[in-house]
């Protein structure tokens, strides 16, 4: 099994079908239902098997404490058209934050994308306060704005129009994987 450990004894590995039940139990958030969470993760697993995405989970002492995805066919047109894989839906348990696990997961995806021959990797981040930690994290890891402004549901926003400030209002960042 493809698995890596760091100093805190956290390890990262690819999602397996046996994980789904545990994940639905643990990661059904108050804004969703266990049925919807199961459908979401079943779809993740099927896309993982088809190599459209790679889903990784991060474990500590045999407990799943976070996860993330690498999308090889992202919805955001700038990434899709420029062969830029997207790091997506990173989540670290609240009790396990600020222990470098988010950093570890992102670096894992960067290595994976490099091994797959990609020259650039991308990530999107929301604009409201809940995304503050992610904004700081991506800046720290040297991600830069892609220069195309913000999007709503992956389409460029139009100046003067109104949009809801929600999870679909996103700014996009990229990082070169080519050593200087
Ligand atoms: C964003 C998230 C993945 C970060 O995970 P994490 O494991 O806590 O991050 P790390 O420990 O690797 O943090 C690395 C750096 O990011 C920045 N950072 C992380 N959390 C921060 C916070 N709450 N406030 C300010 N900076 C923060 C810091 O620079 C930190 O370095 P430091 O601890 O040496 O100061 C986590 O907060 C999370 O799951 N949030 C909810 C989901 C989410 O927003 N996902 C991203 C969607 S785009």
pLDDT on residue 2: 52
DSSP 78-101: HHHHTT--EEEEEEE-GGGTTSSH
Residue nearest to atom 40 of ligand 1 (CA): 91
Burial 18-47 (b: 16+ CB within 10 A, else e): ebbeebbeebbeeeeeeeebeebbeebbeb
Task: Name every protein residue with a CB atom under 6 angstroms from any ligand 1 atom.
Answer: 90-92, 97-103, 125, 131, 133-134, 136-137, 140
pLDDT on residue 55: 98
For tokens 């988010």, the residue is 102
pLDDT on residue 58: 98
How many Å lie between the centroid of ligand 1 and the Cα of residue 175? 18
Q: What is the pLDDT along the chain (180 residues), one digit of tens a residue?
A: 456 655 568 999 999 999 999 999 999 999 999 999 999 999 999 999 999 999 999 999 999 999 999 999 999 999 999 999 999 999 999 999 999 999 999 999 999 999 999 999 999 999 999 999 999 999 999 999 999 999 999 999 999 999 999 999 999 999 999 988
- Which atom number of ligand 1 is nearest to the Cα of residue 101? 7
Strands, E assignment, the chain: 3-5, 10-14, 53-60, 63-71, 86-92, 120-126, 144-152, 155-156, 169-176
Residue nearest to atom 19 of ligand 1 (CA): 133
- 3-state SS class at 8: coil
- Which atom number of ligand 1 is nearest to the Cα of residue 140? 29
Query: Which of 133, 150, 169 to probe ligand 1 with, by most ligand atoms within 8 A of CB?
Result: 133
How many Å lie between the centroid of ligand 1 and the Cα of residue 29? 19
Q: Name the pTM for this structure.
A: 0.95
pLDDT on residue 180: 82
For tokens 């670290």, the residue is 92
pLDDT on residue 1: 44
pLDDT on residue 44: 97
How many Å lie between the centroid of ligand 1 and the Cα of residue 132? 8
């Amino acid at each position: 099994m493809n698995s890596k450990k760091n100093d805190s004894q956290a390890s990262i590995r690819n999602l397996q079908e046996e994980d789904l039940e545990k994940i639905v139990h643990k990661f059904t958030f108050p804004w969703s239902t266990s049925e919807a969470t199961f459908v979401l993760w079943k779809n993740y697993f099927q896309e993982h098997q088809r190599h459209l995405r790679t889903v990784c989970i991060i474990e500590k002492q045999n407990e799943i404490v976070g996860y993330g995805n690498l999308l090889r066919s992202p919805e955001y047109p700038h990434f899709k058209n420029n062969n830029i894989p997207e790091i997506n839906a990173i989540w670290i348990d609240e009790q396990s934050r600020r222990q470098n696990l988010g950093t570890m997961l992102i670096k894992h995806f960067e290595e994976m994308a490099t091994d797959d021959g990609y020259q650039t990797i991308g990530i999107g981040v929301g604009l409201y306060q809940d995304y503050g930690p992610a904004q700081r994290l991506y800046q720290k890891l040297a991600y830069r704005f892609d220069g195309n402004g913000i999007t709503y549901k992956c389409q460029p926003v139009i100046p003067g129009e109104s949009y809801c400030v929600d999870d679909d209002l996103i700014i996009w960042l990229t990082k070169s994987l080519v050593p200087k």
